[in-house]
Amino acid sequence: MSEITVGMKGSAQVEVVHDNTAAAVGSGALEVYATPSMIALMEKAAMELVAPCLEDGQGTVGVELNVEHLAATPVGMTVRAEVELTAVEKRMLTFKVEAYAGDELIGRGTHKRCIVFNDRFMEKTLAKLNK
C-alpha cells in the first residue's frame, strides 16, 4: 500500500453512447454527453486514483463538486477525465478535475472525497431506514 500524496495523477475514460447522453439520463433532451455522466467519470477517476492507497475496508465517498461543463460532445467520441490530487487534510482529499474529448477541454473544476470505513459508513446510512 502506497501513501496518498499531493501531486498524484490519474484518469478514466468512456465512449459516448446513448446511455450516457443528456437525453438518456434525463438532464436534457439532446443526444450529447450528459453533465451528470461527465461528473461520474471525474469521480471515478478520483476514486480509482487513491483506492490502492487505502487500508482494507476503507473507501472514499464524494462530498463536494464544483464543475463547469464547457462544450458538448457527440455520441461516438471518447471522453477522458484527468484528476490531480491537490490537497490532503486528514481524511479529506481535494482534486483538480478536467474532462477532454480528444484535445478539447470539455469540463473542469474541483472535487472533494472523504476517506471512510465502508462498514461503519453503510451501518450509519442504513440505520436511517429504522427511524
Those residues of the chain that have pLDDT short of 70 are: 1
- How far apart (Å, rounded) are the C-alpha atoms in residues 98 and 96? 7
pLDDT of 57 reads 97
Contact 34, 21 (CB under 8 A): yes
Q: Among 88, 72, 81, 85, which Cα is nearest to 29's?
A: 72
pLDDT of 131 reads 80
* DSSP label at residue 54: S
Q: Among 14, 40, 15, which Cα is nearest to 27's?
A: 40
Q: What are the residue numbers of the active site?
A: 35, 43, 69
pLDDT of 84 reads 98
**Cβ contacts of 56 within 8 Å, gap of 6 or more:** none
Q: Among 64, 55, 63, which Cα is nearest to 117's?
A: 55
3 state SS of 50: helix
pLDDT of 2 reads 80
pLDDT of 45 reads 98
3 state SS of 82: strand
Residue with cell 472533494: 112
Instruction: Record the pTM.
Output: 0.96
